[in-house]
Structure 1
Amino acid sequence: MRTIGWVLVLGGLVSGLCAAVAQPSAPTDTTRMSAPTTAEAAPERLDRRGGVLRRTPLFYVAEEATVLHNRPSLNAPVTRLSLRTPVRRLSCEGGWCRVRTDTGTTGYVADTALSNVWIRVSKAERRVYVYRGAELAHTFEADMAYNSFSDKRRNGSEDRPDHWRTPEGTFYVVHKNPQSQFHKALVLNYPKVEDARRGLDAGLISRSQYEAIKQAQEEHRMPPMGTDLGGWIEIHGDGTGDATAWTQGCVAIRNAAMDVIWEQVPVGTPVLVE
């Protein structure tokens, strides 16, 4: 058992999640493993209410903002939850889930508004792991960038092939492209604010470009992709399945693998690249 720490970034809110996941000895394209039973297994948290310590599965709002209701009815709105808001799912019945937000507000949302899917990309292992909570659902061999060892710092080119790198850290799927030149593509929200701040300090981008990236992140939109920080980092199809290094920063898996996860991965899905 190996414990992996990752963070779910939502604007200025950082919610720490600790995932204890079993590592497969010989991954295949559809490896499925049972969830760990330890109290630390994510995305679950221990919640003390009325002196009782209990486990509540952690989900997040996917696809788009949703309305929190005080009862399972479309006519009982309480507040609006933005994309990627983390919530604890307490129970589900009849198409509605009772949830609690990190601020302690309890209410109901449509069960279709929630997801607990997340992705881990291992550059060293050249594999893509898809999880549902703490359960490993799929493992895929992946092709990586030309420079598959280093973190991304700026845009690569024919003159700078060393900068064809995959950025490391926590991201999320900001857009799904069903008509990608590489079959289908899950677009990640690179560059993020921390990339923009580094780029601004290094003179790679202007103040206005920094502000545009910052605003896009706050509004959960695709950031500007044409700066010297690079962009259009994707998990896409047309991979060889041989764990080679040929992309300009993306992660490529076989088309059949892409078809498997396409319906399972909504916009807002967290992606850990390490």
Structure 2
Amino acid sequence: MIRAIRATLGVVFLTILAACGGSDSASTGPAAPRFLSYDGPKVTQIVVNKSDRMMFLLNDRTVLKAYKIGLGNEPIGAKQFEGDGKTPEGIFFVDRYNPRSQYHLSVGINYPRPEDEARAMAAGRKPGGDIFFHGRGPDGWKALREGKEDWTAGCIAVEDSDIEEIYAMVQKGTQVVINP
């Protein structure tokens, strides 16, 4: 009898626990990420033009997709150190993915590179890190309501539906060129 009660309580507890572990879509915007598939031409390069607030996914010289972007909250100039609010400039590579990002989905680049670390260290600072292409997340929705175009700590933000496409289209090792 006691074993049956314990087993029943265990099942009830696990059911409640499972219900609490659901989607965190409330914190990432209006919808949980959708994992799309892509079978088109390979994305060989991502080009970001900061001054135009545009990002392009290319197959060789052909533009496959173009996206409007938001940048770091101090968008002019290249990232120098952690906390400066700038988006890096230069040539990078896609090096990771985060399907559980608080910004819907995210695709990371290999910042800081050794030269970024050396520059920051020479100034007695840390270079920062965790530079991603990502969706809105709670900060982005707040920035949108406030009319802010550039609101990240240095990342490149797009609409949630856009990061779903980018996440599906881009492979690790894809070159990323971030222009002023």
Q: TM-score, normalised by structure 1?
A: 0.45
Aligned to 1:248: 153
- For residues 176-208 of structure 1, what are the alpha-carbon distances to aligned partners after superposition, in whole Å with 9 as ceiling and x for unaligned? 11110000001111110111222233333xxxx
Q: Describe the SS at the equivalent of 1:190.
A: coil
Query: Which one of 81, 98, 104 corresponds to residue 183 of structure 1?
Result: 104
Moved over 6 A (4+): 240-243
Higher helix residue share: 2
Q: What is the correspondence of 1:115-126 to structure 2 with a 5 Å cutoff?
A: 115-126=42-53
Q: Is the 8 A contact 1:126 1:243 kept in 2?
A: no
Task: Give the corresponding residue for 2:130.
Answer: 232
Residue 266 of structure 1 pairs with residue 164 of structure 2? no
Which residue among 117, 139, 155 is the counterpart of 1:196? 117
**Cα 1:273/1:243, change in 2 over 3 Å:** farther
CA contact (8 A) 1:187 1:235 kept: yes
Matched letter for residue 146 of structure 1: N
Say which SS state the counterpart of residue 163 (structure 2) adopts. helix
Q: After the TM superposition, which residues 24-103 of structure 1 pair with which residues of structure 2 at under 5 Å, given as runs? A: none
CA distance in 2, matches of 1:165, 1:257: 22
- Aligned residues: percent identity? 31
Contact 1:144 1:243 in 2 (8 A): no
Measure, in 1, the Cα distance between the counterparts of 2:162 and 2:43: 19
Between the aligned partners of 1:155 and 1:256, the Cα distance in structure 2 is: 29
Q: 1 CA distance for matches of 2:60 and 2:43?
A: 5
Query: SS state of the match for residue 191, structure 1?
Result: coil
Task: Note closer, same or farther for the CA distance 1:182–1:124 as it changes in structure 2 (3 Å cut).
Answer: same
Q: Please give the alpha-carbon distance, in whole angstroms, between the structure 2 residues aligned to 1:131 and 1:186.
A: 16
Matched-pair contact (CA < 8 Å) for 1:147–1:164: yes
SS in 2 for 1:149: coil
Q: Is the 8 A contact 1:141 1:243 kept in 2?
A: no
- Pick the structure with more strand per residue: 1
Q: Structure 1 regions of 5+ residues with no counterpart?
A: 1-114, 157-162, 205-227
Closer, same or farther: CA 174–271 of 1 in aligned 2, 3 Å = same
Partners of 1:119 and 1:261 in 2: how far apart? 10
Deviations 1:145-203 (A, max 9, x none): 111111111111xxxxxx11001000111101111000000111111011122223333
Find the structure with the greater CA-based Rg: 2
Q: CA deviation at 1:116?
A: 4.9
**CA RMSD, Structure 1 to Structure 2 (Å):** 2.2
Distance in 1, Cα, partners of 2:43 & 2:109: 17
> How many correspondences in the alignment?
133
8 A Cα contact 1:142 1:243, kept in partner? no
Residue 89 of structure 2 corresponds to which residue in structure 1? 168
- TM-score, L = length of structure 2: 0.68
Distance across 2 between alignment mates of 1:203 and 1:250: 23
